Chains A and B, each alone.
Chain A
Amino acid sequence: MNIKIYGEGISRVGVRQITPQIYLISHCVGKAAADFNGGFAADFARINPNFDPSANDIIYNSYLFVDERTLLIDTLGPAQHGTILEALHDILDGRSLDYLWISHTELPHAANTASLRRAHPNLQVLTVGGHDHYEIHGFEDARLLDYGDTIELGKHELEIIKPMFVDHALTQWIYERKTGFMCPVDWALNAHNEHQCFRFMHEMEETGYSPERFMHDISVTNCVVFPWLRWADPDQIVAAIDAFYAKYDIRIFAPSHAQVIVRDIPEYLAALREAMRRVVTAKYDLVY
């Protein structure tokens, strides 16, 4: 595995190349994950007691496009404020960051916006348009984008797309037309153990992972991530997923909180579809 790691534990990020011009900058805790992610993992166990107790590490991904212009997708969280700047500094090698696209305003995705602005004074921050009251989210001077808007980087052309599964109202997804890179943000969050850090999905298979396991994990985790699905209709959700798959030619599946998928994409996307059907029909209780 070709990887460069910065920091350790809660500040740790790893950098891997997905294509010659697309980098993954990923955070997960590693060995001590149980000490930091225990509460989230407990929520998964609350949905399904059979959820793998050793899989208690959560991925936080940023993606960097290094083209004629440079663009970063999301900023990682507060504890990674130093390491993401270090990693960017090394990859950019003297160049500056032109664009920062924020998928949504939650801290694990947007916390380091201000420090990135300080490090790259000409940075243009891009985020979701069509709303109001941006000041309270700290985005008063961001450029607002609508679905269908594109960002030209040179060889890459990013398109802002309508998200299928949202939590925060200010959420967008993004698709790169030339490489088939799809970032579905919070959709498809899974969990991994300390032997599975920084792997791409096909490398997970060396540790016993599979589309089947992915389906089981997502059918639990996404009950927690998108609890509103308990009020949805399974046929409608599956139809929406089918329409989404038909519309976009996905060749790199790049979620914020799961392994990047570059091989066997149809198998993993089919697993994801089935998982979401199970999420909608899952029987679990909340604390009312």
Chain B
Amino acid sequence: MIRHVAHDLYQLGESETGKDGWCEAVRVYVLLNDGCPLIFDAGSHIHRGPIMKDLVELLGETAPGYVFLTHTELPHTGNLSAISKTWPEAKFVISSAILPHVEMPWWVKGEQIQYGHAGSSETYGNRRISFSDAILKDQPGTHWMFDEKTGVLFTADAFGYLFPQTADQKFDDELEDGIPAEWSRRYHESAFRFLPMVSGEKVSADLRRVFAARDVKIIAPTHGNAVRGNINRFIDRVSLAMQGICQ
């Protein structure tokens, strides 16, 4: 399903319902970027049909210039081959800490890959994207990316949340009281199994440093919907969730 988030940012991707009724989203984001669309993550292979249909509909005649990968696990790279077959000229942008020969599909050629270095920024079709270390991640070599024009921070697995079916495709400002801390707690507890071994205060302090360093207007997590309404309330609730999971 295509959802317009804000400016030229769109959200695609489906979700899966778990045994207990809680859903997990696997999103793909697109910045239309006037003639050189930028795709962030490639979504799950099990959602290939709807994702490719939505991408073709959203992009129309314009081929994407770049596919940025937050990291290389299957739910984030599941449609790289479909995207590459449809638009062979699209380049892949990955973290400089990713080793393509063990972490990218075997058919990806060296010349298709560009690297993003944490602490640097680069222009892609006139759009400046900056790269930083993913602070909360489940794979070394995960990076976060920031679009300076719209203030979107792409956060990979961090800041996801599980939700009841009724909240699928709903942004935080379309829910009566935003995203509850409980939804964030459920997700982070299952996604980051190391959290019970660490200090929640230290995690929250590190996450806050990220938001102190740039003016984030939208958080774009892979496993949740874009957060575009009340960012501060959302971050406070994620911190609360961390206190519940961590020490």
| Chain A interfacial positions (CB closer than 8 Å to B) | 10, 27, 29, 36-37, 39-40, 42-43, 58, 60, 76-81, 105-108, 111, 131-133, 135-138, 165-169, 171, 224-233, 236-237, 240, 286-288
Contacts and interface: CB of A to CB of B under 8 A. Distances in A.
Q: Which of A138, A167, A228, A233 has the most CB of B within 10 A?
A: A228
A287 B138 contact: no
Nearest to B18: A132
Contacts of B20: 132
B54 interface: no
Interface in B80-128: 95-106, 115, 118-119
Contacts, number: 147
Contacts of B215: none
B44 interface: yes
Given A106-B139, A228-B194, A288-B213, A133 B18 contact: yes
Interface string B169-189: 000000000000000000000
A39 B104 CA distance: 14
B190 interface: yes
Given A232-B197, A233-B199, A169 B138 contact: yes
B210 A288 contact: yes
A111 B107 CA distance: 13
A45 B135 CA distance: 19
Interface stretch (B1-9, B31-39, B71-79, B227-235): B71-79
Contact of A108 (B16, B102, B209): B102
Contact of B135 (A106, A132, A288): A288
Given A107-B102, A167-B138, A131 B96 contact: no
B99 A136 contact: no
A236 B197 contact: yes
Given A225-B140, A287-B118, A137 B133 contact: no
B19 interface: yes
A107 B101 contact: no
B46 A136 contact: yes
B102 A77 contact: yes
A231 B137 CA distance: 13
10 contacts: A36-B100, A79-B106, A106-B73, A133-B18, A171-B193, A224-B97, A228-B136, A286-B132, A288-B206, A288-B212
